[in-house]
Amino acid sequence: MSVDCVKTITEILNEEKWTRATLNNYSINNFKELDSLIKLAYEDEVQLEVKDLCDEHLTHTKNSIVALYISGMLGLRRQLIDDTNLVLLITIFADNHKWNIVEFLCKSILEFGENKYALRTLADCYTNENEEEKKFEVWERLIKVDYEEAEIVKILAEKREAAGEIEEAVELYKKAIHRFINKKLFSSVKEIWAKLIEYSPEEVDFFNHVDRKVSTIISDERASQLLEDLYSYYKKEANWTRCIDILKEILMYDSKNAWARKEITEAYRAKFSFHSQLEEYIRLSNLNQSWRNVHDAIADFEKHISFDVGSFVSHKSWGIGKIRKISGDEIIIDFVKKREHKMSLKMAVNALTSLASDHISVLKVRKKKDVLKNKLKSDVPWALKIVIRSFDNAANMKQIKAAVVPGILTPGEWSGWSTQARNILKEDPVFGNHPDKIDVFMVRDKPISKEEKIYNKFKAEKNFFNKIKAIDDFVKTCDAESDFFNEMFTYFANLMKSYTVANEQVVASFFVVRKLVDQFPFLNSSDFNLDFLDMIRNIEDLEAVYVGLDNSDIRRQFLIALKQLEDWPEIYVRLFPKAMTTAIIDELAGSGYKDKIEELFISVADRYREYRETFIWIVKNYITEKWCNKHNVSYEKILINMIHLLDITFREISDKRDVSDNRRLNKQIHTYLIKDRNIEEYINECDQDSVNRIYTLISDVKDLDVKFKQVLKKLIKSRFADFKFYDEETSKNEAKASVRGLLVSSVALTAKQKELKHIIEVEIPLNSKEIGAAIELGDLSENAEYKAGKERQELLQISVGRLQEEIDKAQVVDRSTLKSDKITFGIRATLKNNISGKTETFTIMGPWESDPAKNIISYQSPFAGELLGHIPGETLKFTINERQYDYSIEELAVAEF
């Protein structure tokens, strides 16, 4: 059947005699017949062969209608970007005025999704056929996918305006003005700006946003011109506050603008016409004197003008006060605890801060606490408006808390209230994020739309991967045909266009763009390459890029995409030590590479010191005794490695090396070995030799809780009544003869006392502050900072208890009292290794001074236990952990300590 399909198309191509002269005889039915052949090609799974056949035919017959149509439609089905063949085909029929066929071809393309060329041509088709309404309907679709089209948007806005549909017209004018700004067509921008002033002059945030955009893309001068037009409207309305704000913006663009300086002086006169000191304050600030910096003059005037009878002020020592009287240069103020206080105007301006009557600090003085608390709890939006405006309309959650806790709400009440407040700040359109600070909130003059709110958050966000979260949120909750969406999408698309080295941001952008193009095909463009294999060639450090992908979904997509490479299993194994994700293991297992997993696990276990975090992760998530038995791996070896790492992390914490990371790993190991009872379960099942090896290592971890060691001893005794515990042998260990003490040097004791003091006086208070700061964030159930702080608090308390107990037991050894006649605490022993023939030197000290790397060993260790009490000339043979030792004691001396 497939042979017949290919043969039929080949014959049609060879027999094709159509020329421009015969196009008039071509009908829609001819294309429908070709559609049947395309369907047949798919059924016979020869579509690629057919496309190659048509493409080859076009190399020598470039205007072949059949080849153009079949190749173009097959390309559409495969979502290929290149639609050249269909564009050429439509052009041929449009040039010959075959509008019915043009319409058919355009609609055929649009069945596969919106297409800018097809929509534009279809609109032209309807224009030629005088079908105006259909043209407008197509234009409505076109402007949703062609973000650069501005003139048609303007035409549609004028159509809605003429029909009296003002609200719809305004939305279209808004869309058009953004697009004309991008095209730098200022005359069109100015025309639409006038329309928007006429129909929606109160949209302050919108005008501010547009003006800033004009300043950035076109020029400050043009932005200033627009503001002058807006100022004229508000001046007619006598909205002096808004007039002043606009004039300040104009003066920010050009501080030498004499017209704006004159106008702002008059606007202040109009706004504060009731003020008793108006003209005096204008004179003092030199507001109308061109020689003084206009911004300094404005700041001075606004500081002075806020002082009037009845106004509220704040002093850092005397608190809130109310101005009772102003007489010449003297101000009389009633503070809560300092009535009728007199100050000069100059001193007042410098020492006092003017407050609005609804400032939160003023309300706390004017209203009873229980009344204000009830108001805050019953009307959270009102409270947020009051507090945010009290911080000059820009406040973060820390500032909001400082304003209401503990003056109004208790810390406990804050936790629930702040959770509700965060939700309102996120969802309520009255609130928005500061354009430059993502964690700072503002109160809007007019409610902001959901899409603009997310867009503003996107723009203010400094973290790249949080921008991805913002665009994901936008797609889920807003209209993707919005120009705001286009600006966000363009941000990621531009990263795709202009890179030389593919870092984590480029890779993440690749997956963001690919996902959005799949969801909205009209976004597809030849401007960016969505071929993963092309991109991966430009990645210099694959492991670093993967670790840098701070988005779990993108990491997963990246791993799946890597499977396009022939050596992907090896790449997965290479990534794993840095990635540590079940996704890698699952993909390898699901694809039949269990041998790779086994090799990976065994390799990491063998190099557990180098890959300590990876080893711990594998043990926690995958290693069980059953797994070890199945893969011929020693479970005891796994446990021994974990014990070694427990000891290593304890030592490094004590030495102040990578303390945060070591604490985290130490906690994970402790949980696995002790809290999850894996050590106890193994000891309860293994033979006595294994118990001896495990317990010997556990007993040598000096910072491990003594209570746990006692639990293990009790368990071991219940199984092996005659079990010999090295740490309980007193015949060979003089130090252990006294259960009351722990032998230490004076230097070590001083160091431990300092460590204890540092924890109590520095680390614990600092941790308490961190917990307090975390509580301020609210919602403790999902507060990672709070949980981490509490875990740290627990570890610090354990450390304090352990150190205090050890210090209480410490007995300082006086070096001057020691003799070198036998091996004991403080002795340096020179031994001959009778197995290797080499001479080795060991210094016997306490657990605090122990440093095995320098052959300084604890008198409590099994090795030291075999040496203690022996004298020069003796030969010692003993076994520890299945290792044979044979030493002769050559020389003893008192060590330096």
| CA–CA dist 28, 26 (Å, integer) | 7
The neighbouring-strand residues paired with 320 are 314
What is the pLDDT, as a whole number, of residue 787? 72
| CA–CA dist 867, 845 (Å, integer) | 12
> Cα–Cα distances in Å, from 307 out to 331, 359, 389, 391?
9, 15, 19, 19
What is the pLDDT, as a whole number, of residue 726? 59
| CA–CA dist 653, 661 (Å, integer) | 9
pLDDT along the chain (897 residues), means of 10: 76 70 76 91 88 91 89 83 83 89 92 87 91 93 89 95 94 93 94 95 88 93 95 94 94 93 95 87 89 91 85 89 85 87 85 89 90 93 94 92 91 91 89 83 81 85 92 87 86 85 92 88 73 86 90 89 90 87 86 87 85 91 82 85 90 83 92 92 89 86 84 88 65 42 88 89 84 64 67 80 84 88 92 92 91 87 88 89 87 91
What is the pLDDT, as a whole number, of residue 793? 81
Question: Residue 313: which of 261, 277, 363, 354 has the closest Cα?
Answer: 354
Which residue reads 């952008």 in tokens?
Answer: 509
In this structure, which long-range contacts are made by residues 466-471, counting pairs with CB atoms below 8 Å and at least 24 apart in sequence? 466/438, 467/491, 468/508, 468/512, 468/551, 468/554, 469/551, 471/512, 471/516
pLDDT digits (tens, 9 = 90+) for 446-495: 777 788 888 888 988 889 999 999 999 998 888 777 888 888 998 998 88
What is the pLDDT, as a whole number, of residue 736? 42
What is the pLDDT, as a whole number, of residue 276? 80
Phi, psi of 892 (to 5 degrees): -125, 145
The neighbouring-strand residues paired with 443 are 431
| CA–CA dist 708, 705 (Å, integer) | 6
The neighbouring-strand residues paired with 878 are 885
What is the pLDDT, as a whole number, of residue 54? 93
722-757: buried (b, 16+ CB within 10 Å) or exposed (e) per residue? Answer: eeebbbeeeeebbbbeeeeebbbbeebbeebeebbe
Q: State whether residue 333 is helix, strand or coil.
A: strand
The burial of 854, by beta-carbon neighbours within 10 Å (0-12 exposed, 13-18 middle, 19 or more buried), is given as exposed
Question: Residue 388: which of 425, 423, 357 has the closest Cα?
Answer: 425
pTM value > 0.85: no
pLDDT digits (tens, 9 = 90+) for 633-652: 788 889 999 998 998 898 88
